[in-house]
């Protein structure tokens, strides 16, 4: 195990093999054949880390699948603690007595394959070679993630989810669930997401990707045995994402033109003096570097860019026509990364196809991250939806 791993583990609590397990459970696809992925590669005996909250009822009708976004994990709810440096990422939405009430619903949240929070990803040891996957980790798609989650559903004995819910990349998975396994989902709620990633979204992803690639410590993706990983490149990538996750208005309100303390010039007129927005972005870069693996960042980013509900299905309308369950499309007007015309497209195409669909707008200055931060608005909309369907 390289020092990169040790550092991640020791300083941050990012989950790595050997780390405290916390509330995680593990499902290994121990089939007699490898798990083939859409790109043509395969994974041998991959593992999905997942957590469950609440109790599956006798007729297995209260199961809700929640799917995380880019750098999320299985810890959707619950306190910080062993193996979980922070409280669940949607704790204010999913909790005992909460909007998604775990006294009522059996909530399951898996970490995606390709990730670095317990599920098999580029940092994992490839059983075929005994070495970290690194650059040899195959490209995985949203559909691969969903197929692996279907195997997990079999393992858990859940034939049909009462609802499949997710924001951003989680919403892409929710949509693919409804298209790939219409008989296994009673409802879906895709939030702040899209049917197909756009050129601009791919463009943002591309720039972060080359920033990581050009970091001399990236070493083509095989840095696990080296003294350092591509921290600078990953920080640049994350800072780009962080701007797109929020909004112009929010930054103006929160930071304006305030200068950071500790500058060398009273008006910040030295090249490396900083405004507050700059130290905020630096901080977000550093935090991600300390808790996330660069290769997983690349793998998951690529999966999002390859997301296209229409691929191989005779176009968008035909793909959407496969969705048979009630759908709640939740959009965010201030979202600059997944502009709300994309959620409205989900609504419109489903409505045109005669599928039951509702649209809710989240009123927020937070932009894309409003799906995480506006827990009352999002939670209320979701609770009303899953209680009704």
Report, as residue numbers or ranges, the catalytic residues: 168, 335, 368
- Spatial separation of the C-alpha atoms in residues 122 and 134, rounded to whole Å: 5
Minimum gap (Å) between residue 246 Cβ and its own copies: 8
For its own copies, the binding residue among 125, 226, 240, 383 (CB under 8 A) is 240
Strand order across the beta sheet in which 106-110 lies: 25-28, 47-53, 106-110, 63-67, 163-167, 188-191, 327-332, 357-362
For its own copies, the binding residue among 19, 51, 73, 215 (CB under 8 A) is 215
- Indicate whether 222 belongs to the interface with its own copies (CB under 8 A): no
Q: Give residues 178-197 in contact with its own copies (rule: CB under 8 A).
A: 196-197
- Indicate whether 211 belongs to the interface with its own copies (CB under 8 A): yes
Span interacting with its own copies, options 44-52, 81-89, 211-219, 347-355, rule CB under 8 A: 211-219
- Indicate whether 227 belongs to the interface with its own copies (CB under 8 A): no
- Indicate whether 235 belongs to the interface with its own copies (CB under 8 A): yes
- Determine the angle formed by the axes of helices 231-245 and 276-291, rounding to 10 degrees: 120
Binding mask 256-285 for its own copies (x = CB under 8 A): xx-------x-xxxxxx-xxxxx--xx---
2-30: burial string, b at 16+ Cβ within 10 Å, e else: bebbebbbeeebbbbeebeebbbbebebe
Q: By C-beta, is 58 or 271 nearer to its own copies?
A: 271
45-77: burial string, b at 16+ Cβ within 10 Å, e else: ebbbbbbbbbebeeeeebbbbbbbbbbbbbbbb
**Residue showing tokens 């609440």:** 54
Q: By C-beta, is 254 or 388 nearer to its own copies?
A: 254
User: If residue 323 lies in a helix (H) or strand (E), which one and from where to where?
Assistant: none
Q: By C-beta, is 157 or 216 nearer to its own copies?
A: 216
Identify whether the C-beta of residue 333 lies closer than 8 Å to the C-beta of residue 215: no
- Indicate whether 317 belongs to the interface with its own copies (CB under 8 A): no
Binding mask 287-316 for its own copies (x = CB under 8 A): -----------xx--x--xx-x--x-----
Number of chain positions touching its own copies (CB under 8 A): 61
Nearest to 347 by CA among 377, 326, 318, 366: 326
Identify whether the C-beta of residue 105 lies closer than 8 Å to the C-beta of residue 64: yes
Q: Give residues 335-354 in contact with its own copies (rule: CB under 8 A).
A: 336, 339
Q: By C-beta, is 86 or 252 nearer to its own copies?
A: 252
Identify whether the C-beta of residue 194 lies closer than 8 Å to the C-beta of residue 142: no
Span interacting with its own copies, options 104-112, 176-184, 240-248, 327-335, rule CB under 8 A: 240-248
Please give the structure tokens belonging to residue 298. Answer: 């690349």
Residue 105 CA to chain centroid, in angstroms? 22
- Indicate whether 387 belongs to the interface with its own copies (CB under 8 A): no
- Indicate whether 112 belongs to the interface with its own copies (CB under 8 A): no
- Spatial separation of the C-alpha atoms in residues 99 and 84, rounded to whole Å: 22
Q: Euclidean distance between the first and final Cα of the chain, in Å?
A: 48
Q: What angle do CA 356, 362, 366 make, to 5 degrees?
A: 145
- Indicate whether 42 belongs to the interface with its own copies (CB under 8 A): no
Q: Give residues 135-154 in contact with its own copies (rule: CB under 8 A).
A: 135, 139, 141
Per CB under 8 A, residues contacting its own copies are 38-40, 135, 139, 141, 196-200, 202-204, 206-207, 210-211, 213-216, 221, 232-233, 235-236, 239-240, 243, 247-248, 251-252, 254-257, 265, 267-272, 274-278, 281-282, 298-299, 302, 305-306, 308, 311, 336, 339
């Amino acid at each position: 195990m390289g020092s990169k791993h040790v550092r991640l583990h020791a300083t941050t609590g990012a989950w790595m093999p050997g780390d405290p397990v916390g509330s995680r459970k593990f499902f290994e696809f121990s089939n007699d054949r490898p798990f083939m992925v859409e790109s043509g590669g395969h994974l041998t005996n991959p593992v999905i880390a997942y957590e469950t909250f609440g109790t599956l009822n006798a007729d297995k009708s209260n199961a809700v699948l929640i799917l995380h976004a880019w750098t999320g994990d299985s810890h959707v709810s619950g306190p910080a603690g062993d193996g979980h440096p922070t409280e669940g990422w949607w704790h204010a939405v999913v909790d005992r007595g909460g909007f998604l009430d775990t006294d009522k619903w059996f909530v399951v949240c898996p970490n995606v394959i390709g990730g670095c929070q317990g599920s098999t990803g580029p940092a994992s040891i490839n059983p075929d070679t005994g070495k970290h996957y690194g650059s040899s980790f195959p490209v995985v798609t949203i559909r691969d993630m969903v197929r692996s989650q279907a195997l997990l559903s079999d393992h858990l004995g859940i034939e049909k989810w009462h609802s499949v819910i997710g924001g951003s990349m989680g919403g892409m998975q929710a949509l693919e669930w409804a298209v790939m396994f219409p008989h296994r989902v009673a409802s879906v709620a895709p939030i702040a997401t899209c049917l197909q990633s756009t050129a601009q979204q791919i463009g943002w992803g591309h720039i972060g990707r080359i920033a990581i690639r050009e970091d001399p410590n990236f070493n083509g993706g095989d840095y696990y045995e080296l003294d350092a990983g591509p921290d600078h490149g990953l920080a640049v990538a994350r800072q780009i994402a962080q701007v797109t996750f929020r909004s112009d208005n929010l930054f103006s309100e929160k930071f304006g033109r305030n200068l950071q303390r500790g500058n060398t010039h009273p008006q910040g007129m030295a090249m490396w003096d900083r405004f507050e927005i700059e130290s905020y972005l630096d901080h977000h870069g550093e935090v991600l570097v300390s808790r996330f693996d660069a290769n997983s960042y690349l793998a998951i980013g690529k999966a999002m860019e390859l997301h296209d509900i229409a691929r191989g299905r005779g176009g968008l309308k035909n793909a959407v026509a496969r969705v048979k369950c009630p759908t709640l499309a939740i959009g965010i007007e201030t979202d600059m990364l997944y502009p709300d015309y994309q959620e409205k497209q989900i609504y419109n195409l489903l409505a045109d196809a005669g599928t039951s669909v509702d649209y809710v707008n989240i009123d927020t200055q937070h932009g894309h991250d409003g799906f995480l931060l506006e827990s009352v608005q999002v939670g209320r909309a979701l609770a009303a939806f899953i209680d009704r369907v």
